[in-house]
Structure 1
Amino acid sequence: MTIIQLKTFLEIASLGNFTLAAESLGYAQSTVTMQIKQLEEELGVELFDRLGKSVVLTVSGTRLIEYAEKIKQLEREILLDVPISDEPNGTLKIGVSETLCYNLFPQYLLAYKKKYPKVEIQLMFVTHDTFPEMLKKGTLDIVYTLNPLIVRDDLLLLYNKPENLSFFASPKNILASKNEIAEKDLDSIPLLLTPNNCNFHNMLITDLKKHDITPKIELETSSKEILKQFAINDLGVTFIPDMSAIDEMKSGKLVKLNWSGCSFPIYSQILIHKDKNVNNAMKEFVNIIDSSVYRE
């Protein structure tokens, strides 16, 4: 079997169609058909069930997916790490939490691309519940996320920095004039929160329940822009990272409430899968973010 055959196999599995895979890869359909036929003959199994114009993976095809993805990932790592060069090159697949893009991440990315133009960056927004599997499969090489400190046996932490998670409201809000607020002050206050699959949401709800407070959730959305707009219009209090409300605080549209209740520790973190080789492209990505030159 060849890497080309395995790449073709993965493309067909993704698109569910030989013709679409051939167009995507720039091959004639007969070439794609022949590659899969040769792969199936070598393995002695059928990889796809042909259902008219569509195809679905067989049990054997499903088993091959994980191995094919690992081989494809290893090919990228070889191209990034093996060629003798004074600087990293190849493709680096980065997963990033959307919230981090409100702050300095765009500057980090521009600095990286300027310093290492031979590295092709492929960027994808991720959530905390999806990226570990993406790292395992090799869909991503490295993840830059904002969460409570992540400790998992299958992940390796390369970097972390404490960040702030706070309550924000319109200057007109009833809580804005208080010298400080705690859990009891949020009783009956409309809350503008991230969804219930978000760690920020769960941290707050868990804390309020400990204080026997039933939260009044006015809005749940993953969009920080919507949460901020609702807060600006005094439709409730939002609970989001400081970095996503910097401009609104500077302009006076939102005020940060002086919280004296439970602490909510979060960190910007860089993680990889524990079995991943830390190549030069990844090391330099961490170095750029860790450099004091780019800090606020």
Structure 2
Amino acid sequence: MDIKNLITFIHVAELRSFTKAGDKLGYSQSTVSFQIRQLENELGVPLFERINRTVTLTNHGSRLLQSAYKINELLQEFEHDTAEETEIRGRVRLAMADSLCNEVIRRVFPELHKHYPGITLECISAGTQDMFRMLNQNEADLVYTLDSHIYDTNFAILQESRISMHFVAAAQNPLTERDHVPVEELVKQPFLLTEKGMSYRRLMDEQLAARSLEIKPVFVSGNADLICNLVEHGAGLSLLPDYVTRPYVEKGTLQYVNVPEIRLEVWTQLLHHRDKWISEPMRIVIDYLHRCVL
């Protein structure tokens, strides 16, 4: 008997809903139905009556629920007793925007590795479309996006937050002293940008294209810190998230350039596929990523 099916059975019995049980466990309704059907086939008896979208236990189901509670309790006791003896090991594949990678991993990985040396965190740099392809094909366990807000019923959103962005220039650049800079003047400046088609660069390009304008950068890189270093030395302007530029602005080497015509709404979102089984290493990585507030 598959323990996962038994745990799903307990949740359906308590919540009296396949949908609510799926939401709590991170499964789709079809996955929950499949697991219950497997359990019923294995035991050879019906466990639930499904009438007019209501779910109630059969007599066999009520008897199994009492046994399932005992099994689950014994399993939890065993896991608790062996938790300190067994090192948690495993690999978690995290696909994320290149410009997020340095900041997030710098904040998360040292503590993660200190407390869970058996967990291997595999970071995969990718564009947003590639990330969701990886989730759908089980090539990534989690994705951490930096893009416009995304909602898809196939994916569970674990965390999300709006990210502020600004155009920046070296502190001595005359554009930083002006109340606002027209976008037509902005595009004539030398720019250092992330790769074309990637997250906020794509959103900016779309807004410029709507005005029949385009920026042709003098330097392109996925390394946001490198771009900041070059901008603070007067190489040109850039568009970057505030979590990247904040240290430079605070020490006075970079300043914001106000361009009221360009308004970007960018979000970070941590997601996994709704049908993905959350392993213990994956749960731990999710917990550490929750603590990373940009």
TM-score of the pair, normalised by structure 1 = 0.61
Taking a change above 3 Å as real, the CA distance of residues 123 and 85 of structure 1, as seen in their structure-2 partners, is farther
Taking a change above 3 Å as real, the CA distance of residues 215 and 125 of structure 1, as seen in their structure-2 partners, is closer
Helix, strand or coil at the partner of 1:133: helix
2:180 corresponding residue in structure 1:
180
Cα deviation digits, residues 4-46 of structure 1 (max 9, x gap): xxxxxxxxxxxxxxxxxxxxxxxxxxxxxxxxxxxxxxxxxxx
1-structure distance, mates of 2:290, 2:157: 13
1:85 corresponding residue in structure 2:
79
1:168 counterpart = 2:168: yes
2:54 corresponding residue in structure 1:
none
Helix, strand or coil at the partner of 2:167: strand
1:102 touches 1:244 (CA, 8 Å); kept in 2?
Answer: no
Taking a change above 3 Å as real, the CA distance of residues 187 and 125 of structure 1, as seen in their structure-2 partners, is closer
1:262 corresponding residue in structure 2:
262
2-structure distance, mates of 1:122, 1:169: 34
**What is the deviation of 1:226?**
4.1
Cα deviation digits, residues 50-106 of structure 1 (max 9, x gap): xxxxxxxxxxxxxxxxxxxxxxxxxxxxxxxx9x63465432222233322443542
Question: What code does the residue aligned with 1:90 have?
Answer: G
What is the correspondence of 1:12-31 to structure 2 with a 5 Å cutoff?
none
Question: What code does the residue aligned with 2:194 have?
Answer: T
Unaligned runs of 5+ in 1: 1-81
1:210 corresponding residue in structure 2:
210
RMSD (Å), alpha carbons: 3.0
Helix, strand or coil at the partner of 1:130: helix
**What is the deviation of 1:235?**
3.0
2-structure distance, mates of 1:97, 1:199: 8
**What is the deviation of 1:239?**
0.9
**Number of paired residues?**
214
1:100 touches 1:243 (CA, 8 Å); kept in 2?
Answer: no
**What is the deviation of 1:216?**
4.5
Cα deviation digits, residues 215-268 of structure 1 (max 9, x gap): 343333323244334422323211122222233223322212234233211122
Taking a change above 3 Å as real, the CA distance of residues 182 and 102 of structure 1, as seen in their structure-2 partners, is farther
1:282 corresponding residue in structure 2:
282
Identity between Structure 1 and Structure 2 (%)? 18
Taking a change above 3 Å as real, the CA distance of residues 199 and 119 of structure 1, as seen in their structure-2 partners, is closer
Question: What code does the residue aligned with 1:172 have?
Answer: Q
1-structure distance, mates of 2:118, 2:187: 54
2-structure distance, mates of 1:171, 1:282: 42
**What is the deviation of 1:136?**
2.6
2:165 touches 2:242 (CA, 8 Å); kept in 1?
Answer: yes
Taking a change above 3 Å as real, the CA distance of residues 206 and 95 of structure 1, as seen in their structure-2 partners, is closer
2:244 corresponding residue in structure 1:
244
1-structure distance, mates of 2:265, 2:150: 11
2-structure distance, mates of 1:132, 1:226: 27
TM-score of the pair, normalised by structure 2 = 0.62
